Amino acid sequence: MNAPLPTPVRIRAATDARGRPLRDLRISVLDRCNFRCPYCMPADQYPEHHPFLQRHDLLSFEEIERLARVFAGLGVRKLRLTGGEPLLRRDLPLLVAKLAAIPGVEDLALTTNGVLLPRLAAPLRAAGLQRLTVSLDALDPAIFSRLSGQRGDVAEVLAGIAAAERAGFAAIKINCVVMRGVNEGEPLKLAAHFRGSGHLVRFIEYMDVGTLNDWRSERVVPSAEVLAQIAEHWELRALEPGYRGEVAQRHAYLDGAGEIGFISSVSVPFCGECTRARLSADGQLYTCLFAREGFDLRGPLRDGHDDAALAALITGRWSLRDDRYSERRDELRGAIRDRVEMYHVGG
Ligand code: SAM
Ligand code: SF4
Ligand code: SF4
């Protein structure tokens, strides 16, 4: 009789207290921004002289690369660069090239307000950036200007998207945060504009991230309402999720003109499938967008911890993760008064 075969040795991916694996990492590369979107960094709260992080506070590209390698070793397959406005970080393509070379990273993406894309789309593409998300809340110039805190011009963002297309980015995601009384008429215009373009507009419910954006539930436009608006004009069919942890619910136009998506973290929370960690520009690990505080990785990194020790710290923190704020919003919202701000943790 043959001896039983030994059980294959597997490296166990990090799993949290609710059985959710660690799959995606959002990396904020700085907290500054050239916009002041009212839902993220309201202008009256963030004047030009606001004490943003200083250069020595920021992780260097080498430090970000090192942490990203450790995360990839723990099962992270998707990296997304964000901010603040990530394109303001000097020499960003050099970081992209470093991250693109990490074994195990299957998807490397970036979210931007798009203004600096005419200059940076081509070098980012050449450095290995695979996918791009551009935030665009309105096509109407006055509404767009208001939603950028009077800092942005919609024509510049459209020029940025055109530059990204020329640089070879396809299927660009276009993010639109919908706010009641501000831009609820814009989703239809955005859907019409991008239908047939190959790009995917995603409508995002206004979230109560942080404590400074004066969020109120009556300012949220539920995704179902936006979907109904668009479905009055074009027939749509709901699509199955493409992978575990996909946050957007996608719908395809029946006439073949592409897809739209909805990120409905207020009306349809998706915490059960949340496989995402966030690294702030100063090296704090956040296990939820609504976390009170981060877990410091910069200190241990600068103190000389080796990769195995960093991996043990991250796995230890992830294994304790029990976050599901969006599922418990009504109960937790009043109780938690200090939540990290969106521009710090990177959206
Ligand atoms: N500056 C870049 C940009 O705006 O694309 C990247 C960082 S921004 C924090 C990332 C994403 O978060 C953007 O698409 C933005 O619209 C979204 N966002 C910010 N605050 C939000 C809020 N309160 N509710 C929903 N989405 C929000
Ligand atoms: Fe800046 Fe993006 Fe926040 Fe707007 S959403 S203020 S562009 S970081
Ligand atoms: Fe993930 Fe926290 Fe958002 Fe839930 S509330 S989906 S746990 S980031």
Spell out the domains of the chain, with CATH numbers in brackets: 24-345 (3.20.20.70)
**pLDDT value of position 210:** 81
**pLDDT value of position 124:** 98
**pLDDT value of position 336:** 67
Distance 259 CA to ligand 3 centre (A): 24
In short, whether 41's Cβ falls inside 6 Å of ligand 2 is: yes
Find the distance separating the first CA and the last CA of the chain, reported in whole Å.
58
In short, whether 281's Cβ falls inside 6 Å of ligand 2 is: no
**pLDDT value of position 12:** 55
Residues 169 and 166: their CA atoms lie apart, in Å, by: 7
**pLDDT value of position 78:** 97
Low-confidence ranges of the chain (pLDDT < 70): 1-13, 336-337, 346
Distance 37 CA to ligand 2 centre (A): 6
Distance 342 CA to ligand 2 centre (A): 8
Would you say 85 and 48 are in contact if contact means Cβ atoms under 8 Å apart?
no
Helix, strand counts (H, E) of the chain: 11, 12
Q: Whose CA is nearest to atom 3 of ligand 2?
A: 40
Probe target for ligand 2 pocket from 30, 89, 113, with the most ligand atoms within 8 Å of CB: 113
**pLDDT value of position 106:** 97
Distance 69 CA to ligand 3 centre (A): 24
Ligand nearest to the CA of 114: 1
DSSP strands (E only) in the chain: 24-28, 78-82, 107-112, 131-135, 173-178, 200-205, 236-238, 249-253, 259-263, 276-279, 284-286, 295-296
Token output for 151? 């800092």
In short, whether 88's Cβ falls inside 6 Å of ligand 1 is: no
Residues 31 and 89: their CA atoms lie apart, in Å, by: 10
Q: What is the DSSP letter of 305?
A: -
> What residue has token string 């991230």?
209
Distance 186 CA to ligand 3 centre (A): 27
Residues 143 and 191: their CA atoms lie apart, in Å, by: 16
